Copies of this chain bind each other. A is one copy, B any other.
């Protein structure tokens, strides 16, 4: 593969949205990165071009068999006007793990990070600076062969698009009400749960829709085999603080290995807060609640960073956490992590990567 990125700048620049009008994932910048794949050429023709529609035959495999993968990360502009990325190597490594599960050819992780930096640099004026805002980065791969047979595509397109975003939740960081799902299943061992692929999100919509109708923001997913063990919350990883110990479900094959999840584990260990990754049943959580030992709970993910949980609806009962308020540790984790990401907090782990 050639590492030369062809750059075609946009003749015109779009108007940027006001910081207070930013929604998640609705506005896109002036440029995008594209490269294509064929077996003969490998990944070829890496290019940055004006953001514009792409044209595909109706028989293109992406419309039929869901062989897609994606990533999500963010760029921030620090108070010193530096452009910062948060652990992009983790995202690109995970993209390759997803590629493997979906039979998509591996990408060159280092090269793609360079491409991403180049793109962010070109569109850096789009990075908002107000509290809670950032530039969301969406790398994704779609199958582009024109074919209706069920088989891995022979052609692919890798793209990166950028979207200036406000907080994922319009209301900002405040505890949400969660419905513990007992009918629908997100993933099962041997399936695609640990890959970031479209189908996982498509299959989650129905449970999410039904939970919303009942007044809950998200669902808490239990394992697909026994419907007992905690897996994820919405499209986030989940943590509980029980009797001073922080617990998150261990990576069992059906849980996505979140970059935020991993970062929080590091931070907690650094702070000497007792923390463990293990199998955790909803019954364990309920018993802790009954004994008065369930202290805090929160979801973690790139989009929302940390989302405190105020209430869990389980077995026709409401489990209220920390009087429905954001827990102390949850808040400290949010402040520290967003502080590191925005360059306002010491980066003891060398997580932040500057875009020159």
Contact = CB atoms under 8 A, between A and B. Distances in A.
B66 A57 contact: no
A54 B58 contact: yes
Nearest to A142: B63
Nearest to A202: B66
B198 A198 contact: yes
Contacts of A348: none
Given A58-B159, A188-B224, A191-B224, A198 B142 contact: no
Nearest to A141: B63
Of the four ranges (under 10, 10 to 19, 20 to 34, 35 or more), the interface on chain A belongs to 35 or more
Interface in A149-188: 149-152, 159, 161, 163, 183-188
B148 A208 contact: no
Contacts of A56: 53-54, 56
A87 to B, nearest CB: 20
A149 B68 contact: no
Interface stretch (A25-33, A123-131, A319-327): A25-33
A150 B28 CA distance: 17
A159 B60 CA distance: 13
Nearest to A204: B150
Contacts of A64: 68, 70, 138, 140, 198, 201
A53 to B, nearest CB: 4
Interface in A224-258: 224-225, 227, 234-235
B197 A189 contact: no
A199 interface: yes
Contacts of A188: 185, 188, 191, 224-225
A231 B225 CA distance: 16
Contacts of A152: 205, 209
Given A55-B55, A66-B198, A103-B209, 11 more contacts: A25-B148, A53-B57, A54-B55, A103-B205, A150-B235, A188-B224, A192-B202, A197-B202, A198-B198, A198-B199, A199-B202
